Homo-oligomer: A and B are copies of this chain.
């Protein structure tokens, strides 16, 4: 009976993880298909008058996903320098931006690094704390775990996907 309970728990945990990761993967698939479809010229356009360009949002998403690597204990960031331009500064900051070809490459590399680590993360590991919550706070708020970061970042991606869609003809 103990084994049955333990098995049931493992099964249920596997289902939770699949729910979260499948939504993450679907939304990543949609944004990747959109980035592939948009030319560099189309990405350079504002998503709405006076609003962020596609290039800025591509850089912003890359920076935010890159920051997930240390947050989830997956390792060092690949492109920490993106934060100054794409997170701490607005689109029209005047700061030099990497070329669109480079940004596309960074986005791809960050996506590959995340995917590789996500695919090899053990079920138990997803329910441990992420690296921006203290052990003390995590003891009180155990829902602030690594899997919760995936839910949160999927919604962040969806928000910007809704805006980037406006660049498609």
Which one of B127, B143, B151, B162 contacts A162 once the chains associate, using CB atoms below 8 Å?
A: B162
Interface centre among A18, A23, A166 (most CB of B within 10 A): A166
Interface centre among A8, A49, A156, A163 (most CB of B within 10 A): A163
- Against B, the Cβ 8 Å flags (1 = close, 0 = not) of A53-74 are 0000000000000000000000
- Interface band, chain A: 35 or more
Q: Which residues of B contact A15 (CB under 8 A)?
A: 127, 142-143, 145
A12-B127, A158-B162 given; name 7 further pairs at CB < 8 Å.
A2-B5, A12-B12, A19-B143, A19-B147, A23-B151, A159-B165, A163-B163
**Which A residues fall within an 8 A CB radius of B?**
1-2, 5-6, 8-9, 12-13, 15-16, 18-20, 22-23, 27, 47-49, 51, 127, 142-143, 145, 147-148, 151-152, 154-156, 158-163, 165-166
